[in-house]
Structure 1
Amino acid sequence: MRNKKESRLRTWLEILLVSTRLGLTSFGGPIAHLGYFHEEYVRRRKWLDEKAYVDLVALCQFLPGPASSQVGIGIGIARGGIIGGIISFLGFTLPSVIALILFVLLLNTFSIEDAGWIEGLKIVAVVVVAHAVLGMAKNLTPDLKRKSIALLALIITLLWQTTFTQVGVILLAGVIGFLLYRNQTADDANTVNFPVSRRLGFICLSLFFALLVALPILRDITSNQWVAMMDSFYRSGALVFGGGHVVLPLLEREFVPTGWMTAQEFLAGYGAAQAVPGPLFTFAAYLGTVIKGWQGGLFATFAIFLPAFLLIIGTLPFWNALRTNPNIKGALIGINAGVVGILISALYNPIWTSSINRSVDFALAALLFSMLVYWKLPPWVVVLSGAVGGLLISYI
């Protein structure tokens, strides 16, 4: 019994060390993260075989939320149970959370409104989202029907800019995808077993939907700012399909129009989030720290990632049956196309309209875009170049 306990502790320590190293070095966004995970967990350590890894990635692409974080949680669960999943998440996420909290505390000693390098970080945000739009549009809207779904999503989200609109567009795109692509043939499923019971999975899924319904009601009843933060971050984390960049418009409309922070502060943090490794959802740590100090940063991180935890644990026992359903595959095709439209909308407003005001701003954006897309420079180099460029053009 003692040997078994020691073996479990060694396993958890190993998960922590490996995931923390990845959290300190994994730059480049979710696709790059999946590449790092494959190299470390499949090729080097052989914690999962190739088929199991592909199956897990497929599940996390299916779910809303941060796909790379959910894959990391799933690998931790496969290796060390539920606690292993929690440890894997903490190791991969905390480095960027701590970095962004420190970034806010540093900004408190300077004037954010007039900092030229902050303007440069805002232009970096334009470049990163533009790059995401191009890549996702190529992969997710290859035919005219999916391009039309993306166009419809773009028009709706530009004309009616509310939080409800984002959710409605995703649901509408899913319905259209179901009607147009419901006869999709199912792929052969690779099965993978995780130590999660169906009972626990059902409890997690029930809690996911219960919180989604109860938190807005509790927010109205209590008028408590912590409850309001929990509702805003939880809802944003629960309703994001397509990766971390799509959470930008959801979070912006939760916190900027309500007066919790300025658009300047919001976009400065988004630019800074590109400079740190790990998942983009850790942008919540920046927002929470701006609102409520470092305690708010940790609380916001917990709230925005909680849906990802509940969904990955809740669906693992049922995934093999779900992924062979052609109707669900059709709905996902439509949702992915709708995400492209939402991204284009976010690129224009608030990112472009708040960042590109002069010809010199566009020139810097073009240079940074070329560095990222054509010259293939690391993202942290692009971010630092944007900060320096913003400082230089502030004197023009």
Structure 2
Amino acid sequence: MNERGLFTSLLEILWVSTKLGFTSFGGPVAHLGYFHEEYVRKRKWMDEKSYADLVALCQFLPGPASSQVGIGMGVMRAGVLGGIVSFLGFTLPSVFVLILFAVILQGVDVSGAGWIHGLKIVAVAVVAHAIIGMAQKLTPDLRRKAIALLAMVITLLWQTAYSQVVMIVGAAIMGFLLYRDHIQHEVESEDQVRFPVKRSIAVVCLVSFIGLLILLPILREITSMQWIAMFDSFYRSGSLVFGGGHVVLPLLEREFVSTGWLSEEAFLAGYGATQAVPGPLFTFASYLGAVMYGWGGGVLATFAIFLPAFLLIVGTLPFWDVVRRNPKAKAAFMGVNAAVVGILIAAFYQPIWTSTIVNPLDFAFAAILFSMLVYWKLPPWLIVLTGAIGGALISLL
């Protein structure tokens, strides 16, 4: 591709991804539907099989799956620059809104605000919906249900910085032992797929991913600088999340609420507000960074939490065909995905449920919001607006 053709492709990617960034409401699953409609059916940038393979890769990796699909689409269209442009277009609209929301809240005591409590109840409804959907998909049999239950119990009773990492590794081992023979025939039937990324670039990205994961905690201890500590916390959170944006909640809560960097009210209010904006749920980090350190903190947090996703998707594209045809790897990730459900249930109980549902009226309002979201299928922004108004009215009773 010549320079003019590359520039034209980048502009086209920027236009399409920005349009999706302004209109993609509904969470990761909905985002994949929007991508399919725009990239596959309408523009035919990719065929159905290639798109399915790209989605499978992003579900396989830790990080925000829908953002990684968008990055991967850009990479396959116009190389690494295309991936960067696609990411910026899809992510920046919600980043701007959430940083603005955080800046407005700075200096305001939100601990007793009724509308903030309403946003926290919205978070209850949204996470409950996410758990139900993920459980149906990721724990369809008794063995995976047992892995999810074990992950929930361990996460609730052993709350340390390492518990989630240990649980994910343990679940991978259990998945490998339980399912390695079960999926052999499925893997053998899959076709080979090629992705247009040089292996040298991929290796650099993978080495950078692992290097930062090791180096950042060391720098954090040596320097004791708040900015490095914040970058490390967001980077590790983005590196260890399997199963979608909702699962980042317990990691971020442990990193910033439990350590006293920000209040639980501000944390859950931002999570509720994130449901009202389009784009990836990981932009919740933009809000958190801005609450702590203003616009600069919001930008740094956004970069830190999405950097692992970018390094992983670019780093694994050339090797994906080898991994996806390996039954041992797929079996391990079946166990990991089941554990994700248990980890999210633990996060649903604490901090979300224990800090939000304090009386029967809260529970009744949460049930109404849940029904609006799941059964009446109303748009997320309307659920958030209803939650804020309802919370304000409840505070007057």
Are positions 1:279 and 2:280 aligned together? yes
Q: Please give the TM-score of this superposition, normalised by the length of structure 2.
A: 0.98
Secondary structure at the aligned position of 1:194 is classed as coil
Are positions 1:314 and 2:312 aligned together? no
Q: Please give the TM-score of this superposition, normalised by the length of structure 1.
A: 0.98
Identify the residue that residue 71 of structure 2 maps to in structure 1: 73
Cα deviation for residue 108 of structure 1 reads 2.5
Supply the distance in 1 between the matched residues of 2:396 and 2:349 (Cα, whole angstroms): 26
Identify the residue that residue 156 of structure 1 maps to in structure 2: 154
Tell me: CA distance 1:118–1:9, structure 2 relative to 1, closer, same or farther (3 Å): same
Contact 2:21–2:91 under 8 Å retained in 1: yes
| Matching of residues 1-396 of structure 1 within 5 Å | 4-108=2-106, 110-183=108-181, 184-185=183-184, 186-187=186-187, 188-396=189-397
CA deviation digits over 1:47-92, x for unaligned, max 9?
0011110010000000000000000000001111110100000000
Supply the distance in 2 between the matched residues of 1:189 and 1:205 (Cα, whole angstroms): 25
Supply the distance in 2 between the matched residues of 1:336 and 1:45 (Cα, whole angstroms): 32
Contact 1:69–1:89 under 8 Å retained in 2: yes
CA deviation digits over 1:156-181, x for unaligned, max 9?
00001122111111111111111111
> What amino acid sits opposite 1:143 in the alignment?
D
Contact 1:246–1:342 under 8 Å retained in 2: yes
> What amino acid sits opposite 1:42 in the alignment?
V
Contact 1:52–1:190 under 8 Å retained in 2: no
Supply the distance in 2 between the matched residues of 1:194 and 1:140 (Cα, whole angstroms): 27
Supply the distance in 2 between the matched residues of 1:28 and 1:393 (Cα, whole angstroms): 26
Cα deviation for residue 111 of structure 1 reads 2.8
> What amino acid sits opposite 1:392 in the alignment?
L
Supply the distance in 2 between the matched residues of 1:201 and 1:357 (Cα, whole angstroms): 49
> What amino acid sits opposite 1:91 in the alignment?
G
Contact 2:6–2:78 under 8 Å retained in 1: yes
Supply the distance in 2 between the matched residues of 1:139 and 1:108 (Cα, whole angstroms): 39
Supply the distance in 2 between the matched residues of 1:97 and 1:191 (Cα, whole angstroms): 37
- Runs of 4+ with >2 A deviation: 108-111, 186-195
CA deviation digits over 1:109-164, x for unaligned, max 9?
64312211111000010111100111111111111111111110010000011221
Supply the distance in 1 between the matched residues of 2:174 and 2:196 (Cα, whole angstroms): 36
Cα deviation for residue 248 of structure 1 reads 0.2
Contact 2:148–2:340 under 8 Å retained in 1: yes
Supply the distance in 1 between the matched residues of 2:104 and 2:193 (Cα, whole angstroms): 45
Cα deviation for residue 242 of structure 1 reads 0.5
> What amino acid sits opposite 1:209 in the alignment?
I
> What amino acid sits opposite 1:214 in the alignment?
L
Supply the distance in 2 between the matched residues of 1:141 and 1:263 (Cα, whole angstroms): 30
CA deviation digits over 1:182-205, x for unaligned, max 9?
112233334443321111111111
> What amino acid sits opposite 2:301 in the alignment?
A
Secondary structure at the aligned position of 1:394 is classed as helix
Contact 1:124–1:365 under 8 Å retained in 2: yes
Contact 2:106–2:291 under 8 Å retained in 1: no
Supply the distance in 1 between the matched residues of 2:291 and 2:259 (Cα, whole angstroms): 14
Supply the distance in 1 between the matched residues of 2:291 and 2:103 (Cα, whole angstroms): 9
Supply the distance in 1 between the matched residues of 2:270 and 2:236 (Cα, whole angstroms): 20
Supply the distance in 1 between the matched residues of 2:237 and 2:291 (Cα, whole angstroms): 17
Secondary structure at the aligned position of 1:376 is classed as coil
Supply the distance in 1 between the matched residues of 2:299 and 2:196 (Cα, whole angstroms): 28
Unaligned runs of 5+ in 2: none
Secondary structure at the aligned position of 1:163 is classed as coil
